[in-house]
Chains A and B, each alone.
Chain A
Amino acid sequence: MDETCLPDEEIDGRFGKIPIYYVKLCKLGVVALVKSTNIDVNKIRVGNLYEAEAMGCLLSLPGKTRMRIAIADDDREVVDFLGKIVEEQGHVFVGFADGDALANALLRDTFDLVILDWNMPGKTGMQILEWMEGAVDDRPPVMMMTSRTAKQDISDALNAGADDYITKPEDPNVIAARINAILRRGNGSTAMETTAQYGDYILDRIEQKVRHNKTEVALTAKEFELTDLMFRNRDRTLSRRYIMETVWRTNAHLATRTLDMHVSRVRSKLSLTPENGFRIFTVFGYGYRLETLSNGV
């Protein structure tokens, strides 16, 4: 999808009417609204859209868009398997069997998402990831796909700039949810409504209350904010740092047990169990992910 500039206008934002100095329609259908001219829009990548979002200057346009996804895996079966999932979601994909082919394509072609296998002939997934940081302008989001399950490998990949990861083998529904979570970033659903429903859970953002199966669950302010953040970013791996900075609004050292305990309480108070269609998954050494289990609902 080509980049298009929209004429200056006002737009309904999370915090009311926002004057738009410069609007850029990016890939993925994301609109970056930049309040301050100090920020060079060209430098906003999907990878750091979180930052813009956290500043309250990023909104997205509604509407579903067809995405173009690169899938790189030396295993033909896996490429086909993933391609089928992607197509079911209404997107198109291009498969690559090795790292070098992918690298060449990334220089000439534009993709909305790259799904990278870790071990590949030619450049490995990690090498591609590192290479992309410097070589590809406006780098698309990257989903790492790996047979490796060691904690260190996963946190290394995420810390190296991957937007998320999937371990093989994984349930097709989970994979679809995770892909959508990455793509949803720019999608309209991040716009804040006063109430939002996720499965059986209804979040009242004004009262800061959660209703589950018509029962009201009492949460503290921080617990609610954590719940809200996780639901909004469901199926997406959030780093502990991101959660702390967003919910506690601090960079300062926060006892790591504090976050563990809050997540634990949210989990038990809201009964976030597979029976209820959700599970909280700890990515050791990195952060948390709230997973939706479609077959549970």
Chain B
Amino acid sequence: MKLRRRLGIEWAGVALAASLIVTALIYWNSLSGFDNLLYDQLSEYDRPEASEEILIVAVDEDSLAAFGKWPWPRDRHANLFNILADAKPKAIAFDILLSEPGDTDEDQLMAQAARQNDNLFLPLHFVFPGSNGADFDVKEPITPLKEAVTGIGHVNLLFDRDSVVRRTSLCFGGITDPADSAKTVWPHLMEQVYRSVSGGRSSAFDSLENCQKPLLMPYANRGAFSQVPYAAVVNGEIPAAFLNDKIILIGATAQGLGDQHPAPLGDGGTVAGVEIMANMLNDIMADNFIAPVSTGTQILLSLIPTWILLIGFWRWRPRTTIFVSIGLVAVILVASAVLLSFQIWFAPGAALVGLGLVYPVWGWRRLQATSDFMGGELKNYRSETPDIPVLQSSLGPVDLVTEQAEELAHAIKHVRDLRRFITDALTNLPDPMFITDLDGKVKFVNKLAQTGVEDGAQDLALDDMLDRFVAPEDLGDVKNYLALDQQAREHDYIDFTSLNDEVFAMRRARVLSNEGELRGHIHYLADITEVANAAQEREEVLQLLSHDMRSPQAAILALLDGQDATDDNKRIESHARRTLALADNFVGLARIKSSEFSGEDILLSDLVIEANDSLWPLAKQRGIKSTVDDQTDGAFIVGEPSSLYRSFANLIDNAIKYSPDSSHISILLRNISLDKQPFVSVTITDQGNGIAEDMLGNLFERFASNDADSKGVVKGTGLGLNFVAAVIERHGGTIRAENVREGGAQFTILLPLAPEPADAD
């Protein structure tokens, strides 16, 4: 969780930084050097054909040699104009600035010669910055010439940062507005030439949004344009037919004249201004210009590969991302080249920088975050498990990440050992156990459980496993138990018999995660077969004892019935009855200790009355009157009727036994309240000699003396009172014995009242 968040933040940071850098690089055009280089390289493969129509009349070294140093007198140009007028070329562009007035006669002469030609254009140029705070000054040709020629056009060159002329603007000055063109816009000299030849604006010019947007200008190979020396034309060495129908560009090519500029021709050399004009005209005619994509588009396109990679970081492995990065570089370059062939220029530099930047930076940040996280986790782990062998034995100094990785390897090994240990411990547990997950799938079964279930119980559905393990008659109960919540269950364990007739007690415990989330359950099975068998045997012994001890006594009593009531017979009968009572008490006591309490609604007064009734013959024989006074008006208790009945019978029997003849035994039932809890109290009072003082303390203990002393004082009743005490305690009640002042023993029993039933009528 922690690492995820940290990585998310790191990622967002890297993404933002990369995007900003790419945008800035494009905005400030910082990568033009690289982009231009690439452009030069790419344009190498697709140079336009030079038009045959274009002819350069060059002021070259030969002409300078023939006519002397530059600048020449303007009548020489007039001379050239005259010669050209005779040859009737399509158009003439005179790429030599004539903005300063010279010798007036010569100027007039030149203007006159210029008028001879139909399509003669002169250049104008701009001076930056302009005078008097203007952006620029326009330097037009001198007025006589300007009036004499067909048109003028600008010849400003655009230099890239490396001073190479790759671009050109077809016009200069503000928005291209056809209606207002003359005033604010100066078309390029070549555009003017083209218009005069073709009779309309070039399509490149038409598609311009504004003059500020330069176009890339493909160059034909060096020397591709026909060129004749100025001197040769003036000297008549060039036949008029050769000049006829040509577009003639006149300009300086001689090195010394300064009109030489670097051009993207791959050879690092310079090209004469007039030749740049020729290339430009050539491009206008063939519509060869290349439009760079707008800055916005450039930013968007450049960000795409970076973001592909950024998103890919979340999904791909580092190896994949490196391949993808390399692939993206190739794609960018190829796309750039392909676009170029469609006359669109996308500068790939920023996109490549984005890619190049984001990969290592992310790699760094990710490593940092992971390393920090790992360091923290390892620290936690170390503090939780002090016995972990921390990397003490590292071989010399290594870098932090390596150290962490080695420590992690140690921790993993430790965990593996631990798991192995736990698995071994669980597997070899003497009692069966299994672990289930929240979907009810068995996740772990130890050996013993597996022997009962067959192999391959892992990942088995719990119900299926139980089907294979639990005897069908207990299956429902077990499933019910497991379906219930911890709180909802009546017992915290359940007994069941397996298909192999073993008896198990199963307990279930929750498995919680570190954060306290419920993960599953552990089920412990204790083999209680022997205990269950022992319980079964004990029950059988009890049954047997109960029957076999009673039967002979019953037979004795049956035998005596027909006999005369001699003293001996009476004694035999009394002893037989005592043995019976002993057996009943013994079995009753054993049952109580071995069985769970299961009470039912009992009307206590009637139970006491019936117990009293059952002893009536005994009382009658001795003239004793035993009466029940019920003041409760229907007091119900929750109890086990048989044992309660026996208990009261025991108490009343005792009372009769130790009462003098013709005395009275009173049994009183009352409702009382103890700590605001309703109880019913039963008091049995006789008129005998009471209980010996030394016996009062341990009257209810087992095997207290059963003998009455010579005076007939009660000293205990063997199991009888012990049984009574156990029963009353089992019912959540109390019993107390005391001697009343008038003489005689009094037993007081308190039993909690049953709750009122909801449907009482």
Chain A residues within 8 Å of B, Cβ to Cβ: 75, 77-78, 80-81, 84, 118-119, 147-151, 168-169, 171-172, 255-258, 260-261, 263-264, 267-268, 273-275, 279-282, 284-285, 293, 295-296
Contact = CB atoms under 8 A, between A and B. Distances in A.
Contacts of A256: 601
Interface stretch (B319-327, B390-398, B551-559): B551-559
B362 interface: no
A263 to B, nearest CB: 7
B601 A147 contact: no
Interface string B609-620: 110011011001
A118 B610 contact: no
B760 interface: yes
Contact of A279 (B607, B613, B761): B613
B558 A255 contact: no
Contacts of A119: 547, 551
B81 interface: no
Given A81-B558, A168-B551, A267 B606 contact: yes
A296 to B, nearest CB: 8
Contact of B642 (A80, A149, A263): A149
B759 interface: yes
B27 to A, nearest CB: 91
B613 A273 contact: yes
B584 interface: yes
B757 A279 contact: no
B551 A147 contact: yes
B703 to A, nearest CB: 23
Interface in B580-634: 580, 584, 591, 600-601, 603, 605-607, 609-610, 613-614, 616-617, 620, 630, 634
Contacts of A282: 606-607, 610, 641
A150 B547 CA distance: 11
Given A267-B609, A281-B610, A257 B642 contact: no
Contacts of B558: 77-78, 80-81, 169
B548 to A, nearest CB: 8
B562 A84 contact: yes
B550 interface: yes
Nearest to A170: B554
B603 A260 contact: yes
Contacts of A275: 616
Given A258-B761, A261-B603, A81 B641 contact: no
Nearest to B641: A284
A83 to B, nearest CB: 11
Contact of A255 (B546, B547, B630, B760): B760
A169 B580 contact: yes
B559 A264 contact: no
B729 interface: no
A255 B757 contact: yes
A108 to B, nearest CB: 29
B603 A274 contact: no
B606 A279 contact: no
B550 A264 contact: no
B599 to A, nearest CB: 11
A259 to B, nearest CB: 10
B642 A264 contact: no
A170 B9 CA distance: 94
Contacts of B444: none
A148 B757 contact: no
Contact of B606 (A78, A84, A263, A293): A263
A295 B551 contact: no
A78 B555 contact: yes
8 contacts: A171-B617, A255-B757, A256-B601, A257-B760, A260-B636, A279-B610, A279-B616, A282-B641
Interface in B500-524: none
A78 B554 contact: yes
Contacts of B634: 257, 261, 264
Interface residues of B, number: 41
A130 B438 CA distance: 48
B561 interface: yes
A147 B550 contact: yes
A19 to B, nearest CB: 41
Nearest to A282: B610
Nearest to B615: A274
A171 B630 CA distance: 28
B557 A169 contact: yes
A80 to B, nearest CB: 8
A241 to B, nearest CB: 16
A8 B662 CA distance: 62
B454 to A, nearest CB: 39
B606 A81 contact: no
Task: Give me the 10 closest cross-chain CB pairs, A-B, nearest first.
Answer: A81-B558, A168-B554, A147-B550, A284-B641, A274-B616, A77-B555, A169-B554, A151-B642, A169-B557, A279-B613
Given A257-B601, A274-B617, A149 B584 contact: yes
Contacts of B640: 151
A284 B642 contact: yes
A75 B555 contact: yes
A147 B547 contact: yes
A148 B546 contact: yes
B738 to A, nearest CB: 28
Interface string B41-63: 00000000000000000000000
Contacts of B606: 260, 263-264, 267, 280, 282
Nearest to A278: B613
B550 A255 contact: no
Given A150-B546, A268-B630, 15 more contacts: A75-B555, A81-B559, A81-B562, A118-B547, A119-B551, A149-B546, A151-B641, A255-B757, A264-B603, A264-B634, A279-B616, A282-B610, A282-B641, A293-B616, A295-B617
Given A257-B757, A279-B613, A147 B554 contact: yes
A103 B757 CA distance: 47
A98 to B, nearest CB: 14
A148 B580 CA distance: 11
A168 B552 CA distance: 10
A204 to B, nearest CB: 26
Interface string B737-761: 0000000000000000000010111
A275 B624 CA distance: 12
A81 B551 contact: no
A279 B609 CA distance: 10
B559 to A, nearest CB: 5
A30 to B, nearest CB: 31
Contacts of A268: 630
Greatest chain B CB density within 10 A among A147, A172, A264 is at A147
A264 B543 CA distance: 33
A279 B603 CA distance: 16
A280 B556 CA distance: 28
Contacts of A257: 601, 603, 634, 636, 757, 760-761
Contacts of B580: 169
Contacts of B636: 257, 260
Contacts of A295: 617
A282 B630 CA distance: 18
B562 A280 contact: no
B712 to A, nearest CB: 25
A148 B547 contact: yes
A177 B368 CA distance: 102
A258 B757 CA distance: 11
A150 B642 contact: yes
Contacts of A149: 546, 584, 642
